[in-house]
Amino acid sequence: MLKAPFRPQVAGRIAFFLGPIAGAIVSVISLRRMGNPLRAKRIFLWTLLAAAILSVVITVTPDILGRVIGLGSELAFYLIFPGLQDREFTEWQTAHPELQPSNGWRALGWGLLGTLMFLVVFFAVAIPIAMIFPSAFAVAIPIALIFLSVVRCL
């Protein structure tokens, strides 16, 4: 028996609280469960690109503006992810009226995985930028080195 997808709003909430890649993972799981693997792959790849661009923007902007940009992007992802799968979810719901959508709390583990993936993307982008502009990121380099040593130990 097929597993039911999550409601579209779950991906938006996960994206708001845990980051864009977390919301993308929940969207990918839901879309695959609804039988749309190509759309799921596209959404995930576009989200990875958006996360890398967001990492660059947050890294090079001053602190107060970075916070505003970060909050604005979280709000944007909160609004975007449900819309990406609304049509497919409505079609799935009409085709399977006997099934209830999966509980949104079960998406929390996938969201935490997405948060870790966003941190990997962020540091993969931030470390080279910090090496190119070392004076602007004197604090970021030791933090990045600690993060890399922790990841290497895992």
Please tell me the distance from the alpha carbon of residue 132 to that of residue 151, in angstroms, as a whole number. Answer: 23
Longest dimension (CA), the chain: 60
Sequence-distant (≥ 6) Cβ neighbours of residue 87 within 8 angstroms: none
pLDDT surpasses 60 at 118: yes
User: Which two tokens mark 38?
Assistant: 């190509």
Token readout for 8 is 């579209």
Q: What is the pLDDT of residue 143?
A: 59
Query: Per DSSP, what are the bridge partners of residue 102?
Result: 6
If one compares 71 and 61, the residue with the highest pLDDT of the two is 71
Q: How many CB atoms lie within 10 A of CB 85?
A: 27
> pLDDT value at position 150?
65
In this predicted structure, the answer to whether residue 25 has a pLDDT above a threshold of 80 is yes
> H helices of 19-154, where?
20-33, 37-60, 63-95, 108-132, 140-153
Confidence of residue 49 (pLDDT cuts 50, 70, 90): very high
Q: What is the pTM of this model?
A: 0.83
* Mean predicted confidence (pLDDT) in 40-67: 89
The answer to whether the CB of 12 falls within 8 A of the CB of 81 is yes
